[in-house]
């Protein structure tokens, strides 16, 4: 039932040309080269290590792998991480 409601919301938002990530509380990931990642609409940090970061989101965990990670900004709904990134994957 929840899936039908979600699809209905997506159709309405698409017709209204409204940003889906904001309306559905989906994570928005902005990658700048392999050196900076900003994740909007996050739900907190699950794991932080210099080689791996796991960020909680409404759709599950976002896993970032690489090296020399450091958090350069963290806000209520946005986080920016610098380092050298090898990959991003989703869990859940």
Residue 73: CATH number of its domain: 2.60.40.2000
- Number of structural domains in the chain: 1
Residue 3 lies in a domain: no
Cβ 56 vs Cβ 92: under 8 Å? no
Calculate mean pLDDT across residues 57-75: 95
**40 pairs with which residues across the strands?**
28, 78
Residue 73 lies in a domain: yes
pLDDT at 18 over 70: no
Which residues span the domain enclosing 79? 26-91
Structure confidence at residue 64 (pLDDT) = 97
Residue 1 lies in a domain: no
Structure confidence at residue 19 (pLDDT) = 60
Residue 4 lies in a domain: no
Calculate mean pLDDT across residues 39-55: 94
What dihedral angle (degrees, nearest 10) is formed by the CA atoms of 58, 73, 20, 17? Answer: 170
Give CA separation, 23 vs 3, 16, 49, in Å: 15, 11, 31
Residue 6 lies in a domain: no
Q: What is the pLDDT of residues 29-43, one digit of tens each?
A: 999 999 999 999 999
């Amino acid at each position: 039932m929840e899936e039908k409601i979600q699809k209905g919301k997506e159709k309405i938002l698409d017709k209204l040309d409204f940003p889906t990530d904001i309306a559905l509380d989906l994570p928005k990931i902005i990658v700048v080269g392999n050196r900076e990642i900003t994740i909007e609409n996050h739900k907190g940090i699950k794991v932080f290590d210099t080689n791996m970061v796991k960020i909680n989101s409404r759709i599950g965990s976002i896993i970032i792998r690489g090296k020399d990670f450091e958090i350069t900004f963290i806000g209520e709904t946005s986080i920016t991480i610098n380092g050298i990134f090898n990959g991003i994957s989703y869990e859940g």
